[in-house]
Structure 1
Amino acid sequence: MTEHQENHSCRVRPERDCVVIGAGPAGLTAALELSKLGHGSVILEADDVVGGISRTNEYKGFRFDVGGHRFFTRVSYVQDLWREILGDEFLVRPRLSRIHYRGKLFDYPLRPMNALRGLGVLESILVVLSYLRAVVAPFRRERNFEHWVRNRFGKRLFQVFFKTYTEKVWGIPCSEIGVEWASQRIKDLDLIVALRNALLGSVRSKDGEVVSSLIEEFHYPRYGPGQMWTRCAELVEARGAEVHLKAPVVRVGHGFRRVREVVVRRADGSEESFGGEQFLSSMPIGELVLSMDPAPPEGVLEAARALRHRDFITVALIVNREHLFFDNWIYIHSPDVRVGRIQNYKNWSPDMVPDAACTTLGLEYFVQEGDDLWNAPDEELIALGRTEIARLELASEEEITDGTVLRMRKAYPVYDGAYKDALRVLCLWLGEFDNLQQIGRNGQHRYNNQDHAMMTGVFAARNVAGATHDIWDVNVERDYHEQLKVDERPSEASAAGGERQVPAGVGPEELDAQIERAFGRYDPVALGAAVGIVGGVGLWLVTAMFVVFTPAGESVGPTLSLLGNYFLGYTASWNGAFLVLAEAGLGGFFAGWLLARAINCLVDWELRRLLRQLERQSALNILEGEHG
């Protein structure tokens, strides 16, 4: 990889087909796809390594990640890419994660009975009473994440298993976190699959195998996620692309609705300009807008400044013990420590440690750039980590032999009350540019998983080649979560890449159609008309037949005359036939109408009950998106 250090005020580089800002999963995937489509590119990365938040760091031979990154997807194209890049170095690993609370470990994903047993009798009673209160008197309008969780679990369980950890991660009260953070994790397609399971049993594939989730195992590179993206960078360079490290963007020149150049600043203070026909950006969308030259209108600048991120610190500790616990990671819900999550990298891959007699733990602190933890010296952070590991009784301080610290800016986009309006303003303004696309988690300020970020890069690259994908649809109308069996169909863009398939999710209209098929409603008018017509015409025909075929002088249908007890004025005669036609028709219509309404009420009640149950089950996995 190249690191130019030219002593010019602003060196101008030759134009390329495409300039890609950021060498994370989205940017490198876009560059790889561009190379397959015959387009050259240059990738500009502010950091000294590739991978973005999916990087892997090394300290004295011990490897550690910026958070754990499970490689899971239901998108065959992404799975094929991972295999293409790493081959046999892409491992299948067992998964175990639990929640640490008050000195006890609870299963994760949460299992209600396990949680109640761990909490004890008194706390369990309070949890159940709190839940019943939420059922009887829920928040009628869910204004924030706290309302969303309490409506499904009650206040007590919210405080135990959701509040502390969530507020550690985001640094703001749950009452200020938008409902979108939860709803983005619980997709419509999940409900469809679950509805099918509930109504028809387990969903099976064409070959008869049950479609299972990736709860119990996941894929992982032998030497961490950074191995994947380091290898990907090597592949794109071998195909003629350039990857520039330590090249933070300081200015994006534009004019006449087109981006003209991206200017980066080198380590020696010099600047370098990269021009191109097309530009893909995975840098934080707010920073992209603030880098625009000429500057956008003040309202757009205010929106860019309104977007917030959560920063991240990993304190990696080397422990002189072969085995500590079986979990890949543990969520720390205990409020008496500041650590939010603990990774056991040896359980992700044995090759993450050079000495099998030792274990590497990653203590993850969710911080804000400039706060006390962010500004603390590394020695203080390592000492804090040693103390908190001992307090949690996961290892003793004496067993910890060494440690190091990694800080990561803008690790998570924050879904606060202001983000949606601010993002809408930025999208409208950036949408005016003909040759600029935003990709990746930070590029779209969207809490995407790794495969989602990659697909934004794939679609953007294909747009450069002439396709017309809406890359903002990824993870909105399309869904690629681990619980799903995603439909796929070839597209013109995929054909250009060797007849590969791209994902096509179920949109809102198709979703409504599937729910309608699963929970069909009766049309009251139609059922009423059917019952009325059948009843009225049937009785008219019976009466008419008796009148016609009864010999003269004999009494017409003495038994039939008993219908007079039910239909006013009825007699076994032509007058009675037409009278019963009218009365039975009207009575049948009313009875059918009432029956349809009653059935529909029961169906609606059952659908609401089932959807609520499925939402609660999905909410038990609400933390899953932080590993992807």
Structure 2
Amino acid sequence: MSERVVVIGGGPAGLTAAYELSKVAPDHTPVVFEASDLVGGIARTECHNGYRFDIGGHRFFTKVREVEEMWHEVLEDNFITVPRKSRIFYRGQFFDYPLRLFDTLAKIGIYEAFRISASYLKWQVRPYPKEDNFEEWVINRFGGRLYMHFFRSYTEKVWGINPKNIRADWAAQRIKNLTLTKAVWNAISGANDTASLIEEFQYPRLGPGMMWEKTASLIEERGGEVHMRAAVTKLHRVDNRITAVDVERWDESGQPLGTETVEGDEFINSMDLQSLVLAMDPPAPPHVVEAAKNLNYRDFLIVTLVLDHADPFPDNWIYVHSPDVKVGRIQNFRAWSAEMLPDANTASIGMEYFCQEDDGLWSMSDEDLIKLAGAELEQINLAGKEHVVGGFVIRQRKAYPIYDPQSKDALDVVADWIRGLENFQTVGRNGLHRYNNQDHSMLTAMYAARNIAGSQEDIWSVNVDRSYHEEMEVDEAEDQKRYAAE
């Protein structure tokens, strides 16, 4: 008799777990519950008036063999090869990224480049003896002057907190294997052995959601189930075993259809740990509940603009380090794939904003957000706001787990308790409260499926060595004089 595996969440982690189960444990039936209308989580592809939008920009590049194999097993020949082009907007100028020596020197000036070098040498001689936070970690590797220019304010924009309040291990995970000397050598030689700075990548021709839509279809073809508009609101627990989940459903118009209780033999979770712990019935121990409440998240929204002319810039994306505008990153969707646009005579631009659910940006009306995005696009000198002929707003709650000082201890408490559950595993970015990439989320899900099949993989140990990052976070701040070389 087939055993039922309840999978919470239909993002990359949840769907990978279900897909892998169909291969390694065919005697188990995965049943996926996804709260939204679309599979793929933050890697879904939204569509409005024929325009397709990638939320956050998802390159398909990995050093993890089994992930690479799954991508091509699912999508076959539906990948295109995309040249990587990105720049940094800083002090009113666009810098090539990865940095190009002569481009950077021409824009920042030889004198300032000398000061950056002197500052770097100063901090190599007298580094922080202990790296407790993001600021100390970066300064020890890049110097105070470069930190002042290219790290501080962008980091504050993305995370909404002082870099001193971001743990050093986030930097170690996300700016892996890159130093100032390596960046300079790459700029001079054109060499590039840093995984985050690849020159081209694979991409589904219709956006990343194409991958997850096909995965969901294959899961169902193999006997599994994928339920949309189905939110898990409660997990029933008997001692150290999960026995069932409550699933709240609604129809396409948003009308509630009621709640049902679904039993299962095994459970794989990819929802955020805070919501997970608070959904336990009976409740988790008080100290675990308190720890879960100390896990914080950064929300995200993207304002997509349609322009009345073709691409105003050739980049896949531009990092906006200027504190004069609120936008953090700008995407050009045609630079990902021409098939993301229904009209070649228009442009589709994604203006990305990092925020909190209770702040002014999140609560702005869609109309006001579209006006703001158009005005900021003009302020950055990419296109006049009068060229905006359409717009669409996408909001994403709990997009990024925050690595603040209290999160490590809180996560340790929550993880220890979850490890004690006999038939329950948690995977993915929010399921592990770890800011990892798509391929890393998929690998943790593969491990969970293999564990059900009899393996003994430690999901929590799949960490920074398997992860690498795209951005080198960057910026300026007036109070950084103490970091500058005299």
Shared fold (TM-score, shorter chain, > 0.5):
yes
Number of matched residues?
A: 459
Q: Does 1:450 align with 2:438?
A: yes
Q: Which residue of 1 aligns with 2:8?
A: 21
One of 217, 220, 229 as aligned partner of 2:200: 217
User: How big is the shift at 1:176?
Assistant: 0.5
Q: Does 1:83 align with 2:67?
A: no
What SS class does the counterpart of residue 324 from structure 2 fall into? coil
Contact 1:73 1:480 in 2 (8 A): no
One of 51, 60, 66 as aligned partner of 2:40: 51
Structure 2 CA distance for aligned equivalents of residues 275 and 97 of structure 1: 48
Contact 1:99 1:105 in 2 (8 A): yes
Q: Which residue of 1 aligns with 2:20?
A: 33
Larger Rg: 1
One of 286, 297, 309 as aligned partner of 1:309: 297
One of 234, 237, 242 as aligned partner of 2:217: 234
Q: Which residue of 2 aligns with 1:389?
A: 377
Structure 1 CA distance for aligned equivalents of residues 397 and 194 of structure 2: 38
User: How big is the shift at 1:299?
Assistant: 1.0
Q: Which residue of 2 aligns with 1:97?
A: 86
Could you tell me the TM-score, scaled by structure 1's length? 0.70
Q: Show CA shifts across 1:74-119 (max 9, x none).
A: 1222111111111111111111111001221112123465434311
Q: Does 1:150 align with 2:133?
A: no
Q: Does 1:162 align with 2:151?
A: yes
Equivalent AA in structure 1 for residue 67 of structure 2: V
Contact 2:299 2:398 in 1 (8 A): yes
Equivalent AA in structure 1 for residue 333 of structure 2: Y
What SS class does the counterpart of residue 410 from structure 2 fall into? helix
Contact 1:27 1:457 in 2 (8 A): yes
Equivalent AA in structure 2 for residue 95 of structure 1: R
Equivalent AA in structure 2 for residue 263 of structure 1: D
Higher relative contact order (CA 8 A, sep 6+): 2
User: How big is the shift at 1:122?
Assistant: 4.6
Q: CA 1:213–1:448 in 2, change beyond 3 Å: closer, same or farther?
A: closer
Q: CA 1:389–1:213 in 2, change beyond 3 Å: closer, same or farther?
A: closer
Structure 2 CA distance for aligned equivalents of residues 480 and 397 of structure 1: 38
User: How big is the shift at 1:185?
Assistant: 2.9
Q: CA 1:253–1:211 in 2, change beyond 3 Å: closer, same or farther?
A: closer
Contact 1:73 1:481 in 2 (8 A): no
Q: Which residue of 2 aligns with 1:622?
A: 472
User: How big is the shift at 1:480?
Assistant: 5.5
Q: Show CA shifts across 1:493-520 (max 9, x none).
A: xxxxxxxxxxxxxxxxxxxxxxxxxxxx
One of 138, 163, 184 as aligned partner of 2:127: 138
The correspondence of residues 551-590 of structure 1 with structure 2, limited to 5 A, is none
What SS class does the counterpart of residue 382 from structure 2 fall into? coil
Structure 2 CA distance for aligned equivalents of residues 302 and 112 of structure 1: 50
One of 218, 221, 230 as aligned partner of 1:247: 230
What SS class does the counterpart of residue 219 from structure 1 fall into? strand
Q: Does 1:117 align with 2:106?
A: yes
Gaps of 5+ in 1: 1-13, 204-209, 483-619
What SS class does the counterpart of residue 270 from structure 1 fall into? strand
What SS class does the counterpart of residue 357 from structure 2 fall into? coil
Q: Does 1:376 align with 2:364?
A: yes
Equivalent AA in structure 2 for residue 465 of structure 1: A
Q: CA 1:405–1:211 in 2, change beyond 3 Å: closer, same or farther?
A: closer
Which structure is higher in strand share?
2
Structure 2 CA distance for aligned equivalents of residues 356 and 297 of structure 1: 57
Q: Does 1:417 align with 2:417?
A: no
Contact 2:44 2:209 in 1 (8 A): yes
Structure 2 CA distance for aligned equivalents of residues 293 and 19 of structure 1: 16
User: How big is the shift at 1:156?
Assistant: 2.4
User: How big is the shift at 1:135?
Assistant: 3.2
What SS class does the counterpart of residue 265 from structure 2 fall into? strand
User: How big is the shift at 1:481?
Assistant: 4.5
Equivalent AA in structure 1 for residue 21 of structure 2: L
Structure 2 CA distance for aligned equivalents of residues 212 and 163 of structure 1: 23
Structure 2 CA distance for aligned equivalents of residues 42 and 427 of structure 1: 24
CA RMSD of aligned residues (A): 2.5
User: How big is the shift at 1:53?
Assistant: 0.4
User: How big is the shift at 1:405?
Assistant: 0.3
Structure 2 CA distance for aligned equivalents of residues 227 and 325 of structure 1: 25
Contact 2:175 2:471 in 1 (8 A): no
Q: Show CA shifts across 1:265-293 (max 9, x none).
A: 12216211111110000000121111000
Tell me the percent identity: 50
Equivalent AA in structure 1 for residue 144 of structure 2: K
Structure 1 CA distance for aligned equivalents of residues 458 and 79 of structure 2: 31
Gaps of 5+ in 2: 251-255, 475-486
Equivalent AA in structure 2 for residue 163 of structure 1: R
Which structure is higher in helix share?
1
One of 68, 74, 97 as aligned partner of 2:63: 74
The correspondence of residues 403-482 of structure 1 with structure 2, limited to 5 A, is 403-476=391-464, 478-479=465-466, 481=468
Equivalent AA in structure 2 for residue 437 of structure 1: Q
Contact 1:117 1:124 in 2 (8 A): no
Equivalent AA in structure 2 for residue 26 of structure 1: A
User: How big is the shift at 1:217?
Assistant: 0.3
Contact 2:31 2:226 in 1 (8 A): yes
Q: Which residue of 2 aligns with 1:581?
A: none
